[in-house]
Amino acid sequence: MISTRVQAEAFDAGAEAATLAAGRSDIGAIVSFTGLVRADGGLVALTLEHYPAMTVRQLAAIADEAWARWPLIGGTVIHRHGRLLPGEPIVLVAIASAHRGAAFEAAEFLMDWLKTRAPFWKQEDRDGEHVWVAAKTSDDAAAARWSATPAKGEQP
Amino acid sequence: MITLLYFAWVRTRIGFGEQRLALPAGVATVADLLDHLATLSPGHAAALADRDAIRIAVDEDFVSTDALVAGAREIAIFPPVTGG
């Protein structure tokens, strides 16, 4: 299964990948993606607001969808909330499979759907000026390539 | 009574994140509800002015504005999501 967590604390991507592989010999590939706070344009901090009950449900639904689409052995998805500083990790997707193809694809799918369906909102702190980040149409396009028709739970 | 939740700039424009409301007669769809909410305060009006810029979840599932609100427990109103 793919476990999902929403937390304020930082995570250790290496430790999460090691946990997926621990005690197993059937995993041939682990793909791990970590999203970080990037300090461009004078960014001081990023605050992630979320809708806790819906976040938990949406992450579980997205994880279930990936599990149904690819032959996976395990996975971990972690998304942080609260105030994060440049260089800090925001999101982790780590996917284990027998072969790399499924692991790469499932990890990219999870990130694309997470960005367009999980109810998180980023606010930038630019030296005291607080600005909500606008959604990107490129993210919508990236998510849409995985499904020709809107599925249940998709942001219309 | 339903619970309304507001997030991100919808929350900051309205001035708070949650309110309880008895649905007035004539409010059948999400669109009707948004029309009603926009009359409650200048902040509500400002937050809900651009309907293309907001997204709605009824009981934690995304819906379109023609969705019915009867039986809803919790309706959340927020901008397009920007996580990841």
- E-assigned strand segments in A18-119: 29-36, 45-50, 72-80, 82-84, 89-97
Chain pair A-B, CB pairs under 8 angstroms? 81
Provide the residue ranges of all domains of chain B, joining segments of one domain with +: 2-78
Output the pLDDT for position A153: 52
* B62 interaction partners in chain A (CB closer than 8 Å): 117, 153-156
**A107-113: average pLDDT:** 97
Compare all CA atoms of chain B with the CA of A136 and give the residue at the minimum distance.
B82
Global ipTM: 0.95
Distance between CA atoms of residues A110 and A124, nearest Å: 24
Give the closest residue to B5 by CA, choosing from B64, B61, B78.
B78
Coil/strand/helix, residue A97: strand
Task: Tell me the pLDDT tens digit for each residue of A61-102.
Answer: 999 999 999 999 999 999 999 999 999 999 999 999 999 999
Distance between CA atoms of residues A27 and A21, nearest Å: 7
Output the pLDDT for position A59: 97
Q: What does pLDDT average to in each consecutive run of 10 residues of chain B (84 residues)? A: 97 98 95 97 98 96 96 97 95
A149: pLDDT strictly greater than 70? no
Which CATH number does B2-78 carry? Answer: 3.10.20.30
| % of chain A surpassing 90 pLDDT | 83
DSSP secondary structure letter of residue A148 = S
C-alpha pair distances (Å), A37 with each of A34, A80, A90: 10, 11, 7
- Contact between A47 and A83 under an 8 Å Cβ cutoff? The reply is yes
Coil/strand/helix, residue A42: coil
Indicate yes or no: CB of B55 within 8 angstroms of CB of A49: no
A150: pLDDT strictly greater than 80? no
Distance between CA atoms of residues A90 and A84, nearest Å: 8
Contacts of B3 (CB under 8 A, 6+ apart): B18, B19, B20, B73, B74, B75
Indicate yes or no: CB of A48 within 8 angstroms of CB of B76: no
| Site of tokens 């959604």 | A135
User: What structural domains does chain A harbor?
Assistant: 2-142 (3.90.1170.40)
A148: pLDDT strictly greater than 80? no
Task: Tell me the pLDDT tens digit for each residue of A51-60.
Answer: 999 999 999 9
Q: How far is B25 from chain A (nearest CA, A)?
A: 27
Distance between CA atoms of residues B79 and A138, nearest Å: 16
CA angle A103, A104, A105 (to 5 degrees): 95
Element (H, E) at B52: none
Of A35, A90, A117, the CB nearest to B81: A117
